[in-house]
């Protein structure tokens, strides 16, 4: 090769356009199937990641923001109550009087 090559602007643009065309042809022949497979795989991984994030965030929300579990209140009523005891609790003053 020579030491110095002088190109004017038009020759440089022509060489640049030829290089672009050659690169586009090479990519069209060799890289399109590979890029399609890579893009498909990346798209699949993206969808899986989004679904995982949504499920995890929903689980965390349910864990931290859910209402507390209701427990049985053992002090609400006596442990055993007789039917006769229950009838004594009625207010006898509020009953209608029989004459």
Backbone φ, ψ for residue 10 (5° rounding): -65, -40
Looking at residue 63, its pLDDT comes to: 85
- Whole-number Å distance between alpha carbons of 47 and 40: 11
- Whole-number Å distance between alpha carbons of 87 and 52: 59
Specify if 47 maps to a domain: yes
Specify if 80 maps to a domain: no
Q: Identify which of 65, 68, 85 has the alpha carbon closest to the alpha carbon of residue 77.
A: 85
pLDDT in tens, the chain (99 residues): 455 677 788 888 999 999 999 998 887 787 766 666 777 778 888 999 999 999 999 999 888 887 777 766 666 655 565 565 555 555 565 666 665
Domain residues for the domain of 17 are: 7-67
Q: How many domains does the chain have?
A: 1
Looking at residue 9, its pLDDT comes to: 85
Specify if 15 maps to a domain: yes
This model's pTM is above 0.75 = no
28 is written with which tokens? 């069209």
Specify if 16 maps to a domain: yes
Looking at residue 8, its pLDDT comes to: 83
């Amino acid at each position: 090769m020579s030491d110095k090559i002088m190109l004017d602007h038009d020759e440089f643009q022509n060489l640049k356009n030829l290089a672009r065309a050659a690169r586009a042809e090479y990519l069209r022949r060799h890289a399109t199937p590979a890029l399609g497979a890579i893009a498909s795989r990346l798209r699949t991984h993206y969808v899986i990641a989004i679904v995982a994030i949504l499920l995890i965030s929903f689980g965390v929300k349910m864990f931290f923001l859910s209402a507390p579990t209701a427990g049985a209140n053992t002090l609400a009523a006596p442990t055993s109550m007789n039917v006769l005891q229950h009838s004594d609790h009625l207010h006898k003053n509020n009953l209608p009087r029989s004459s």
